[in-house]
Amino acid sequence: MGIFEAVNQPNITSPKGFRAAGIHAGLKKKKLDLGVIICDVPATSAAVYTMNAFQAAPITVTKLSMKESPILRAIVVNSGQANAGTGERGRNDALATRQKMADLLGVSADQVALASTGVIGEYLPMDSLLTGLDQIINQADQDPDRTFAKAILTTDTCTKLAEAHVKVDGQLVKIAGVAKGSGMIHPNMATMLSFVTTDAVIEASDLQALLSSTVDDSFNMISVDGDCSTNDMVAVMASGLAGNKPLSPAHPDWSNFQAAFQYVCQELAKLIAKDGEGATKLIEVEVLGAPTEKLARVVARAVTSSSLVKTAIFGSDANWGRILCAVGYSAPGIDTERTDIYIDSILVSKEGGPVDFDEEEVAKILNRENVLIKVDLKQGEYKATAWGCDLTYDYVKINGSYRS
């Protein structure tokens, strides 16, 4: 094992102490629509939330839980209805859901977190949801069919999972993650839900700091369509059953654990970007030579968020001017006469101007499923990477009939 080992068949229940399940409770017509992750011991926990001012009821209730104490025993997730824009009734429904799961587990209500995804402005069918919780509590196990990952999907075309193993104090520590997200994806998170489990021993404050910093280099670096949702959340639970000494930045194995944790989050983020609604290509934008890390991130996100860049990539058009334009409006103070642009390894613009390149060769690169764009500002030592997807005809079709 190197710094860490990536796992080919990831499962959210791989870390010690976790169970999960997903069922069809009747919130959607046929597909799985209710999921739960349960920890058999009190789990040290952390979370980050959407920046949208209209935060959905499950977000506000989860914040309440986490404010009381950063300890969780379960996360309940439904798809179909977002329980956003639902006012006092929506909040009461979320509180009732939290209390029901707490009663089933025999724990306090503040040890249950909630997440919802689906149509905004529709009330939850509470009879179906609460009955579903009675059913799912008995099914939660190692979840070999990954039913939880399926139950949280909306317009996603596939499940999204990642896992890594790392040695800490000679003990095997596992980190596993699951996510959903396909549309309404934009930096500062989006209609994106992600849940990470680990059996590491780690204090809540260190876990929260790790999650917050990692999100900046993973989930906050993706874009599909430029819309920031009301419901997105990333939550992590640590069972502490791996038997290592408590992790902190002072621990000798901290950097290895941090690398494994970042791998899981970045893999999930890339899977979300690649599965953008109607998408055919994953776009990776690497910005080099920036004067600050913040500017590198801003420029990378601007390029992945540009509708004109996205459509050019969809059409396999080497229109580097659109990339240059996005760089310019995201960082108006840069020296434009020093910026180079590459598509994969081919230089398509030098020092802010045109350069001869093989159009056919670049078109072949743009026809790939994964497209790499490099922007070298040549004005510093900082870099950042962002991910997005192309913008296709199918995106309009999917979102033109989302509620139906």
Tell me the catalytic residues.
191
Q: Which of 186, 210, 216, 217 is nearest to 196 (CA)?
A: 210
Q: Which of 228, 231, 222, 184 is nearest to 78 (CA)?
A: 231
Quick check: 130 and 100 in contact, CB under 8 A?
yes
| Residue 251 DSSP code | S
| Cα 26 to Cα 171: distance, rounded to the nearest angstrom | 42
Quick check: 265 and 194 in contact, CB under 8 A?
yes
Cβ neighbour number for residue 109 with a 10 Å cutoff: 16
Q: In what helix (H) or strand (E) does residue 313 lie, and over which residues does it extend?
A: helix 307-314
The rounded Cα 246 to chain-centroid distance in angstroms is 26
Q: Please give the full DSSP string across 335-400, using - where no structure is assigned.
A: -GGG-EEEETTEEEEETTEE----HHHHHHHHTSSEEEEEEE--SSSEEEEEEEE---HHHHHHHH
Q: Which of 251, 175, 220 is nearest to 18 (CA)?
A: 175
- The gap between the terminal CA atoms of the chain, to the nearest Å, is 48
Quick check: 199 and 239 in contact, CB under 8 A?
yes
Quick check: 251 and 245 in contact, CB under 8 A?
yes
Angle, helix 307-314 to helix 293-305, in steps of 10 degrees: 60
